[in-house]
Amino acid sequence: MKDAVLMATVSSFEGLRQPRSSDLKQFCELFEPLFMASSDEARRQAAAALARSPHVPPSVALQIGSAPIAIAALFLTRAVSIEERVLLDIIRHQSPSHANAIARRDNLSVRVVDALVERRDSTSRPAASMPEPPKPVAAPAKETASLEREERLRAELKALARTAGQPLAAPATPPRRPLLALDATHEALLVRFSRSGEVNLFAATLSHALDCSAVFGERLVLDVSGWQLAVTLSALGTPRMEMVRMLTTLYPYLGERNGSATRCDALLDGIDPVDAKTRVEGWIAADDARRNGGQRHAPMLGPERAEDPRQPAAYPAPANQTQQVASTFYPRNLTRSAR
């Protein structure tokens, strides 16, 4: 029950496009005790979900990052919103495995790189200061080689920090990930959100179950024919009764009867589960390639959406042309008031 409440809390928070300060405070108060009381699998799923959120509070990020490395590894490596001071605190007070996970992040500031180097030096210094048995004459050469390796590592980390903002080469197409069956927690959340009509939370939970981007889950639900969602639910091994209930609730016209059966029954009868699984795995592989290829989803109302330089609207128009367009598309009184 605590696992389901934890995932519902995370899904509700991720559904907020622009959370207010009161929303962040309430999420911190709910998340911290639930995260401590939930199972390792639920905490791992919650950490993976919040790694995609751009609004994770610092206290929540510190709690997830301080969890055992099996839970925190994905969050430390891929979290899009984690402050520098939180990374520094984790590097200095957690295990070397936590520091190694942070070192694999794409963008590292100079302070974080220095902290990683200091942590590496501090973990290797006690072993070097311990008394050792007499060594042969070649021992100074080994110590020199060790120092040279550390200096090379320091130089590589600093170079990585300097080139963090530069575009990277396009990675290879990721292999197709096998699709896992829908677990009881995600199934319960999908049924609950479909019954209550919370489409955004339903799409976010579906994205968590598929381990894909939130945009991919929204795209599945926005298919008003219901075919893409029916194929996805069939590929996840959802019971037919639950599929009918979710589809007819989200798309009411599927509940209309067409002869002796409903439109939903006809839709599900035409889907092969094996073919559906292969098809959904291909969709997820294409979504992974889109994300790894550097493409970024810009919301329709997002303030960061830039003009497309390929469109004619992006080119500056002459003054006389601007005046002519304004007089053509706007009433005369609006054009006069604009002047």
| pLDDT tens digits, one per residue of 243-271 | 999 999 998 988 888 788 888 998 898 89
pLDDT of residue 66: 92
SS3 content of the chain, % helix, strand, coil (to 5): 65, 0, 30
* Rounded-to-10 torsion of CA 60, 65, 71, 75: 80
Q: Which residues contact 89 (CB under 8 A, 6 or more apart)?
A: 62
Taking 70 as the pLDDT cut, the residues of the chain under it are 123-146, 154, 157-177, 292-339
Instruction: Name the E strands within 193-238.
Output: none
Q: For residue range 22-69, list pLDDT tens digits in order.
A: 889 989 998 989 898 899 888 998 998 898 888 899 999 999 999 999
- Alpha carbon distances (Å) from 75 to 51, 101, 190: 5, 9, 24
SS3 205: helix
Separation between Cα atoms, residue 124 and residue 127, nearest integer Å: 6
Separation between Cα atoms, residue 47 and residue 98, nearest integer Å: 14
pLDDT of residue 316: 53
SS3 239: coil
Separation between Cα atoms, residue 277 and residue 323, nearest integer Å: 56
Separation between Cα atoms, residue 272 and residue 266, nearest integer Å: 12
pLDDT of residue 59: 92
Residue 104 burial (CB count, 10 A): 11
Residues present in the chain in total: 339
Separation between Cα atoms, residue 98 and residue 91, nearest integer Å: 7
Instruction: Name the E strands within the chain.
Output: 257-258, 261-262
- Indicate the burial class of 66 (C-beta count within 10 angstroms; 0-12, 13-18, 19 or more): middle
Q: What's the Rg (C-alpha) of the chain?
A: 26
SS3 159: helix
Separation between Cα atoms, residue 280 and residue 49, nearest integer Å: 20
SS3 333: helix
